[in-house]
Amino acid sequence: MDTSVTPAALGFHFPAERQPHALTLMGWPADDVYWEGYLGVARQDFSRLVSTVARFEPVLLAVTDDEAEADAKRRLSLTNSFKNINFYRLELDDVWFRDIAPLFVRNSEGKLAATDWRFNGWGHKFRWRNDTQVPKKLAEKFDMERFEVPIVMEGGALELNAEGVCLTTRQCLLNKNRNPELSQPEVEQYLRAYLGVKHFIWLNEGLIGDKTDGHIDTITRFANDTTIITSICEDKSDMNYAPMRENLEILEQAQQPNGEPYTLTQLPLPRKRVDLGDERLPLTYANFYIGNGFVVVPLYDDVNDEKALSILQRVFPERKVIGLPSLGLITGGGSFHCVTQQLPKGDIYRG
């Protein structure tokens, strides 16, 4: 790898999600077979999510065909935020924009660029031929410089703060179905070179039933540069108890770049278990999305819903914390953070 021409060498870095956005990128679900018969309820959840985000910042909503566009416009026309939603046609395999969209980087002058990582359907589990073209098409749409990265990576596998600290899991980034030829130091080298990462905190495993092989955005997130929110399982008989406990212990030993410990906030997992066929769904409150002045949190009609909202409002006192139903969306394997990707404020869009 020639590090002299990578984004970091040229002064680019990945802005933290809590920093100002120009807009949010999303896509409209369209394939009932892919959604295993749950497309209708997933679209209900999407409608609430899109309209909520659009109350605070513009939404650029991809639609893959005429039916998807008509359905999205019909549902969203009933909301007061319709005028803040722009539609565009884009062929998609599915709508997990956290993983299929480019990861946008910015330099000190406010110039934006797109990093285009390879995507292989979370280890060849699902189709990806259209999704892998999304970064190139969006970079062209924004007339933005694009850096192709020769390794597989998904945005949901990475959680970065504004100091260049990256949270991630070995279960995902070191999985043999992604980049079997790369060691942990080699993976770190790519993240340093293309996203400007300076420090790493490696957890081991994610949630049971997570088809992404342990994405960090389902378990552990930054509230700010010094505060980490991490999921805990309250039921010792649950298979999630041990890995979530281990993650907490790792974070208790982690240090900030200045050597100080992090402030840790424990976020309970939902108590209910939901299975789709013979597979467990990865219900979690940690898959929230941080936008301009708000945090939108997935809810599951669970006894811990209100507790989770209260915890998150305390750690995000300057933002409005909003809970929305996600039992339809989670049937696809992810929730609000998985289906959103922020475009930072910069020289393309300034909001």
Q: Which of 283, 285, 296, 281 has the alpha carbon at shortest distance from 342? A: 296
- Tell me how far CA of residue 110 lies from CA of 16, 123, 244, 348, in angstroms: 14, 34, 38, 9
Q: Which residues contact 254 (CB under 8 A, 6 or more apart)?
A: 201, 228, 261, 262
Is 338 a known active-site residue? yes
Residue 251 near residue 202 (C-beta atoms within 8 A): no
Q: Which of 14, 114, 99 has the alpha carbon at shortest distance from 348? A: 114
Residue tagged active-site, from 166, 172, 233, 338: 338
Cα angle, residue 18 at apex, residues 319 and 304 outer, rounded to 5°: 55
Residue 154, classified by CB atoms within 10 Å of its CB into exposed (0-12), middle (13-18) or buried (19+), is: buried
Residue 150 CA from chain centroid, whole number: 21
**Which residues are known catalytic residues?**
338
